[in-house]
Structure 1
Amino acid sequence: MATCSIMSLGRLAMALCSAILGSLHKLSALLPHIEEEPSMVEAELPEDVLVEILSRLEIPDLLRASSVCSSWHSAYTTLHSLGQYKRQQTPCLFYTSESAGENVGCIYSLAEQRTYKITLPDPPIRDRYMIGSSDGWLVTIDNKCEMHLLNPVTREQMALPSVITMEQVDPIYDESGTIVKYKNWWQSWHDGVMFFSSPRGCTISPRWEQLFLTGRAFVFSETSTGKLLVVLIRDPFSQLSFARVGDDEWAYLPQYDSYENCTYKDGLLYAVTNLGEIHAIDLSGPIAVVKVVMGKAMDIGDRKRNTYILHAPWGDVLQIWKTEEDYIHPSEDDYDAVLKNTASIEVYKSDLVEEKLVKINRLQDHVLFVGHNQTLCLRTEEFPSLKANHAYFTDDSLSWITEFKNNRRDIGVFNLEDNSRDELVSPQLWSNWPSPVWITLNLAKSNLILDMIFKDGKSIEADNALNYPGDFSHMLSFDDPKMLEAAAEGGLGGAAATEREEGSGGAAAALRHSGRGGGHGQPNPAR
């Protein structure tokens, strides 16, 4: 415990040094004031400068810093309440573990190479399937086919419209009035006219049948309203449904199908089909307006390939093709021996003028995240713990995940230079169901008090009267006697002791280090 605590303090010190160096343009304005003071020790940084420094920290470091002393906590409160915390987060892997408990979510930090555990609200997270992850939100569907938005850091949870409000879904009730099945209508459209419709019974158990109602989900902040927009790519023909948080029902885009992935920019939803065709969709009006901005790139789709779309930091629209292969593991038996591996990941620029794809052989100093998350392309200069010219991937093959839910998940780091792959961490931390997803942590919401904390591997009731940063300091063992002694030697003893005397409780995280993480990629020269 003491070793882990000292490492946490050391990490905070390093992060603060980096943040201060990045804020020198504001700190320079303080020099005349500091020189007039008789003692540098007695001088305190103005709150606006502290806010600037804290705004450059990732969420775990931010919460550590906010627990150091009252002035730093005040700066954190200002930063959070004014919505000025905009720092991009290094993606983490969200997963569950049978040993952790039914309601516990685990977050593996690539930046810290450690795991945090958070107790989440009902329904149990291990009974849900995670169909999407965007901007800190998980989109989940449980074994009753009820969908929620969940922020695992703040524990904020919001119900989404019922599946029975979808155009093609009819509920089937038993004698007691309980929904036991859904009738999912298969519809096919051409030029705005439906020419085929057929019902299909869909039980709510086993779990994989959920995906006849929903498949893949995305969350975007809508430009025109500022509301959260949830987009579903759903069976039976990979069509689009969408709703805004607070809506009572799902809207439906029936004329088009075969969508695989989507992204959002400047008020438009961009969706890509399994043939590489790109549609720009305006959802702001009473009727969705669809424009084909790039025709199909091929005539026949590949069922073993997943296609992703995103806007790159340099402005291009990219398509990512991830191809999978099946193989039989020699050390396993029969059903459990069927495994899936990512065989290749290819990156293409979508030339919307010429309406063609141009292959990109090297991403230089950028890195990709693909899976059941909003597809990301990040600069390794801003995220030094990530490997340049690599793709971090999770298993998002819908049929594979649902039909072989107990088999090993295909998760790792893919080298775009030589098509080699590495394990993300070894030994494996996660359960195979529900399948893990990438998530970028988000503190945007205000519900920051957690019901449970973890310390020494045990769950402990948290005091809900305490502030969240105080809880987090306890999670980091700032109230541990050896930690206080170490902090005092480093000049932080008074601050940590003050927080302890004020009764700071614990946050929902585990002090468990695990394996190697994302590695340290060196940024390459600009493209």
Structure 2
Amino acid sequence: MAALDIPSLIRSGAVCTSWHDAYSTFRALRCRSPKQAPCLLYACDEYGPNHAALYCPSTNTTFRVPFRHHGRGRFLSSNGWVFATDEVADPYLLNPVTGDQAMLPPVKTIPCIEISLDDNGNPYEEYKPSEEDIEWARDNAYWRVAISAAGDDAAATCTVLVVHLPRHMLSFAKPGDERWTLLSRDLWLDDVHYNDSNGLFYGLRFDGSVYVFDLARRDFTGRDKDHAWGNNT
């Protein structure tokens, strides 16, 4: 099983009972397939708006996977998950291989996103955003994403770190949370990454400096005492 590409590995568990037991044991041991080129997920006219194509370069095979996409949007990926948005620009996680999904807090709860207020400063709940607002949020609100690994139940227990507009601010949330928590408003990060070997998030700033974030050990119920919730290395 370690020699299989990821889609073939997932399908092997459906062959019969004994293969499913072997597959479950393989996953439980957290074994990994050899280093492979990443799969390419893309939309195509042939599959329509409710499906996408998943190309596996290790086998030169294209798979048809359920994935409803709305216009262009900005689709990001991390740790095998796709960070996507629905028809009203609310983000969610999708595993294109297994079909698992997990909803994230809505876009209206991301700190400082302009779609949260109308022209009169009224809360989002009191006014319906225009299609232009929604399209802007889908195309521009999300810049980069990092997703922590959490085993087979990643969709329920992972932490999602997002670089978003304005000013490339940094917020995080878990699937099922009611709202996003602001981590930093003025770091101007260009990229973020999760290292599953030590459980830390890393942020790359535009000036080349690197910040380290230990979200597992932080108490986020208090005030932002360290200004950036991290260490500049």
TM-score exceeds 0.5:
yes
On the 8 A contact 1:214/1:235 being kept in 2, the answer is yes
Supply the AA of the counterpart residue of 1:268: L
Count how many residue pairs are aligned between Structure 1 and Structure 2: 212
| Cα distance in 2 between the residues matched to 1:221 and 1:84 | 11
Supply the AA of the counterpart residue of 1:272: L
Instruction: Identify the residue that residue 172 of structure 2 maps to in structure 1.
Output: 242
Instruction: Identify the residue that residue 180 of structure 1 maps to in structure 2.
Output: 129
Instruction: Identify the residue that residue 270 of structure 1 maps to in structure 2.
Output: 202
| Cα distance in 1 between the residues matched to 2:64 and 2:24 | 24
Of 203, 206, 211, the residue aligned with 1:279 is 211
> Shift of residue 231 of structure 1?
1.0
Higher strand share: 1
CA change 1:74–1:142 in 2 (3 A) is: closer
CA change 1:75–1:145 in 2 (3 A) is: same
Q: Percent identity among equivalent residues? A: 27
On the 8 A contact 2:170/2:185 being kept in 1, the answer is no
SS at match of 1:125: coil
Q: Which runs of 4+ in 1 moved over 4 A?
A: 63-70
| Cα distance in 2 between the residues matched to 1:92 and 1:246 | 28
| Cα distance in 1 between the residues matched to 2:128 and 2:170 | 24
Structure-2-length-normalised TM-score: 0.76
Higher relative contact order structure (alpha carbons within 8 Å, sequence separation ≥ 6)? 1
Instruction: Identify the residue that residue 91 of structure 2 maps to in structure 1.
Output: 147
Cα deviations by residue, 1:473-526 (Å, 9 ceiling, x for unpaired): xxxxxxxxxxxxxxxxxxxxxxxxxxxxxxxxxxxxxxxxxxxxxxxxxxxxxx
| Cα distance in 2 between the residues matched to 1:179 and 1:88 | 48
| Cα distance in 1 between the residues matched to 2:85 and 2:15 | 39
| Cα distance in 2 between the residues matched to 1:241 and 1:102 | 30
Instruction: Identify the residue that residue 310 of structure 1 maps to in structure 2.
Output: none
Instruction: Identify the residue that residue 204 of structure 1 maps to in structure 2.
Output: 133
| Cα distance in 2 between the residues matched to 1:236 and 1:260 | 13
Supply the AA of the counterpart residue of 1:138: V
| Cα distance in 2 between the residues matched to 1:282 and 1:77 | 31
Supply the AA of the counterpart residue of 1:179: K
| Cα distance in 2 between the residues matched to 1:154 and 1:64 | 9
Bigger Rg, structure 1 or 2: 1
On the 8 A contact 1:131/1:215 being kept in 2, the answer is no
Instruction: Identify the residue that residue 473 of structure 1 maps to in structure 2.
Output: none
SS at match of 1:75: helix
1:233 equivalent to 2:163? Answer yes
> Shift of residue 72 of structure 1?
3.5
1:165 equivalent to 2:109? Answer yes
**Aligned residues: CA RMSD:** 3.1
> Shift of residue 74 of structure 1?
4.1
User: Runs of 5+ in structure 1 lacking a partner?
Assistant: 1-53, 182-201, 294-527
> Shift of residue 267 of structure 1?
3.2
Supply the AA of the counterpart residue of 2:83: V
| Cα distance in 2 between the residues matched to 1:119 and 1:292 | 41
> Shift of residue 78 of structure 1?
4.1
User: Runs of 5+ in structure 2 lacking a partner?
Assistant: none
SS at match of 2:142: coil
